[in-house]
């Protein structure tokens, strides 16, 4: 053995030890190709991953095999001097490899074709028996390293994908479809590493609109252009089938998408077997490669889960709504028990919404507080009419019976798991800001904001409407009562919000009473109200103050 050959074999012997010193995992394979390239005196090395079972490569009926599959089927290194002459279709990535000698080494492990290592020489080269022996010694190390790399890479990818899918599910569980689109589009965009991601959603029966997007200057436009990508989305939407479209770098000059150059777009329907809700489109991988099967599969899984979650959410909403409708029906039944209080529940709901909105609470919360307002006296359903509507002074026992209604309201609503915030608001509407209310003598901000709002709305509607046991008071008196109890029975911020809400209401309140002018309302809100004269007999308003509303 000459010295040069000896040195090459010594290098092969050192290879496993040298490999262990390469600490970064992603540098191990390049280190091995480089070692093999040097050992064989070649000038270029490149790996082409395949990862397909050998049995699939030998599928019958394929007469002109792509070169990589052909090499694997040979199960040994193949020297190629002129690929075209040999009837081989070289991979697109090798079109710039114009070298006189190409050497392809198949990397096969456990009957899986992992890939092909391509080596090129700028000179015409003949590889001898010694080279073949060197290759035979090194290739198992490369194949094993590639196998580990593929496995680890796949595990990592799977873990990343699982995280994405779990994230999508969690997002969909907690929030509605419209709210989660932004997060889903972001997650998909990050996971697939693409230039642009768009989600189109159904608008009406047949049309689509852009609902969320990253990397698209036109993503927020809401319109679906008649450019190639818009047409692709429409096609996928109507056929409910994934499409991969190549644009070959053509500059699209559609008016809605002025500066986008597309190479490849994947469009996946967001659909269940029954219905189609929209389309996800991903444009151009950042690394310039084509989309791989696992990426398309991931998109399909994300879209499938979105469709399922959308339908679940719709179903839950329907169930929730029918539950809510049933309780609202109860509140209406309660109002119907007495012609005098015919619209009390609904008025309290409406005033509560307006006060909550004037306080600047989010729309959703205002809606929930409105519902609590409608339901606040639900517990009165079990109290006999003759006690509720007794025109004379209540006995202590009757008074206590009526006072039990907020607790009863809470008990009825405890059965509705989705309405627990509503239940809390309704069950605390007789607590007072100063801590002298009932049933729990809560004080200040320890009373839920909904409870504080409804307390005020309830008192205002009660004073401004007729009851069996007394006539309505004047608007001026009612408003003075609100101011007088500012910081006592009522949260001061809520009182201010009520005055603002009345300005917005216009000329009459919900019971048809004329409302004062804006200036007069402001005077009543800011001027200290006159003290109540100590009357020998209780006045209507005082009688009211001692009677639960």
Check residue 544 for interaction with Fe ion (CB under 5 A).
no
Torsion of CA 289, 295, 299, 302, to 10 degrees: -140
Residues with Cβ within 8 Å of residue 494, at least 6 apart in sequence: 355, 359, 452, 453, 455, 456
Residue corresponding to tokens 């729990």: 440
Select 328 or 549, whichever has its Cβ closest to Fe ion: 549
Does 375 engage in binding with Fe ion (CB under 5 A)? no
Q: How far is the CB of 375 from Fe ion (least distance, A)?
A: 11
* Position 334 contacts Fe ion (CB under 5 A): no
Q: Which is nearer to Fe ion, 443 or 547 (CB)?
A: 547
The contacts found for 78-87 with CB under 8 angstroms, 24 or more apart, are 78/103, 78/104, 78/106, 79/103, 79/104, 79/127, 80/104, 81/124
Binding segment toward Fe ion, per CB under 5 A, in 210-218, 291-299, 455-463, 531-539: 455-463
Of 118 and 449, nearer to Fe ion (C-beta) is 449
Q: Which region, judged by CB under 5 A, interacts with Fe ion, from 117-125, 180-188, 250-258, 376-384?
A: 376-384
Residue 100, both tokens: 């006189």
The three-state secondary structure class of 46 is strand
Smallest separation, CB 462 to Fe ion (Å): 6
Shortest distance, CB of residue 373 to Fe ion, whole angstroms? 9
Task: Please say which residue, 347 or 480, places its beta carbon nearer to Fe ion.
Answer: 347
549 binds Fe ion (CB under 5 A): yes
Which C-beta is closer to Fe ion: that of 54 or that of 545?
A: 545
Give me the torsion for CA of 294, 298, 300, 306, rounded to 10°: 180
Q: Is-contact 132 12, C-beta < 8 A?
A: no
CA distance 234 to 362: 36
Question: With respect to Fe ion, which residue has the nearer C-beta, 71 or 549?
Answer: 549
To the nearest whole angstrom, how small is the minimum distance from the Cβ of residue 447 to Fe ion?
14
Select 377 or 544, whichever has its Cβ closest to Fe ion.
377
**Binding piece for Fe ion, criterion CB under 5 A, among 394-402, 433-441, 458-466, 537-545:** 458-466
By the 10 Å C-beta count (0-12 exposed, 13-18 middle, 19+ buried), 329 is classed as exposed
Q: State which H helix or E strand residue 162 sits in.
A: helix 129-174
- In the complex with Fe ion, the residue whose CB is nearer, 231 or 541, is 541
Smallest gap from residue 340 Cβ to Fe ion (A): 12
Residue 420 beta carbon to Fe ion: minimum distance, rounded to whole angstroms: 19
Residues in contact with Fe ion, shown as a per-residue x/- string from 29 to 68 under the rule CB under 5 A:
----------------------------------------
Q: Which is nearer to Fe ion, 305 or 354 (CB)?
A: 354
Q: Which residue has the tokens 């209310």?
A: 437
Shortest Cβ 548–Fe ion spacing (Å): 5
User: Is 458 a residue that touches Fe ion (CB under 5 A)?
Assistant: yes
DSSP per position, 206-275: TEEEEEEEES-TTGGG----SSHHHHHHHHHHHH---EEEE-TTPBP--TTSTT-B-SEEEEEEEE-SS-
Six token digits for residue 545:
């103050």
Please state, in angstroms and rounded to a whole number, the distance separating the CA atoms of residues 494 and 457: 9
Q: Binding Fe ion by CB under 5 A: which of 187, 262, 281, 377?
A: 377
* Residues forming the site for Fe ion (CB under 5 A): 377, 458, 549
């Amino acid at each position: 053995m000459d010295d040069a050959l000896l040195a090459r074999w010594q290098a092969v012997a050192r290879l496993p030890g040298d490999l262990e010193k390469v600490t970064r995992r992603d540098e191990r394979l390049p280190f091995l190709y480089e070692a093999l390239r040097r050992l064989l005196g070649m000038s270029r090395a490149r790996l082409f991953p395949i990862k397909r079972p050998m049995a699939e490569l030998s599928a019958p009926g394929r007469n002109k095999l792509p070169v990589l599959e052909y090499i694997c089927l040979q199960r040994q290194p193949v020297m190629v001097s002129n690929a075209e002459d040999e009837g081989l279709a070289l991979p697109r990535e090798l079109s710039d490899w114009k070298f006189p000698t190409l050497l392809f080494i198949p990397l096969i492990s456990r009957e899986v074709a992992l890939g092909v290592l391509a080596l090129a020489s700028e000179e015409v080269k003949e590889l001898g028996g010694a080279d073949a022996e060197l290759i035979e010694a090194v290739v198992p190390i490369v194949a094993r390293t590639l196998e580990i790399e593929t496995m680890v890479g796949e595990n990592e990818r799977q873990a990343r994908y699982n995280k994405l899918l779990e994230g999508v599910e969690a997002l969909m569980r907690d929030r509605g479809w419209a709210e989660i689109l932004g997060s889903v589009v972001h997650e998909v965009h990050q996971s697939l590493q693409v230039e642009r991601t768009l989600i189109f959603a159904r608008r009406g029966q047949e049309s689509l609109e852009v609902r969320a997007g990253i990397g698209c200057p036109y993503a927020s436009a809401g319109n679906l252009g008649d450019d190639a990508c818009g047409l692709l989305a429409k096609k996928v939407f109507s056929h409910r089938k994934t499409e991969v479209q190549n644009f070959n770098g053509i500059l699209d000059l559609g008016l809605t998408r002025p500066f986008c150059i597309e190479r490849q777009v994947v469009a996946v329907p967001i659909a269940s077997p029954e219905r189609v809700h929209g389309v996800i489109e991903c444009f151009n991988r950042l690394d310039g490669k084509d989309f791989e099967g696992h990426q398309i599969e991931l998109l399909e899984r994300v879209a499938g889960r979105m469709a399922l979650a959308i339908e679940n959410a719709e179903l839950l909403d329907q169930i929730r709504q029918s539950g809510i409708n049933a309780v609202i029906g109860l509140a209406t039944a309660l109002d119907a028990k007495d012609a005098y209080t015919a619209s009390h529940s609904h008025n309290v709901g409406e005033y509560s919404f307006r006060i909550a909105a004037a306080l600047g609470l989010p729309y959703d919360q205002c809606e929930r507080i409105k519902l609590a307002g409608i339901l606040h006296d639900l517990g009165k359903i079990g109290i006999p009419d003759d006690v509720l509507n007794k025109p004379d002074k209540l006995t202590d026992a009757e008074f206590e019976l009526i006072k039990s209604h907020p607790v009863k309201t809470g008990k009825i609503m405890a059965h509705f798991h989705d309405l627990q915030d509503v239940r809390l608001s309704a069950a605390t509407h007789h607590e007072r800001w100063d801590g002298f209310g009932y049933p729990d003598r809560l004080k200040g901000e320890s009373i839920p904001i909904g409870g504080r709002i409804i307390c005020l709305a309830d008192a205002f509607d009660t004073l401004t409407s007729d009851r069996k046991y007394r006539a309505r008071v004047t608007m001026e008196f009612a408003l003075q009562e609100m101011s007088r109890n500012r910081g006592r029975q009522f949260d001061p911020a809520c009182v201010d919000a009520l005055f603002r809400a009345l300005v917005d209401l216009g000329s009459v309140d919900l019971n048809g009473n004329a409302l004062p002018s804006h200036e007069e309302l402001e005077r009543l809100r800011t001027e200290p109200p006159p003290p109540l004269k100590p009357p020998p007999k209780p006045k209507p308003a005082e009688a009211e103050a001692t009677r639960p509303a």
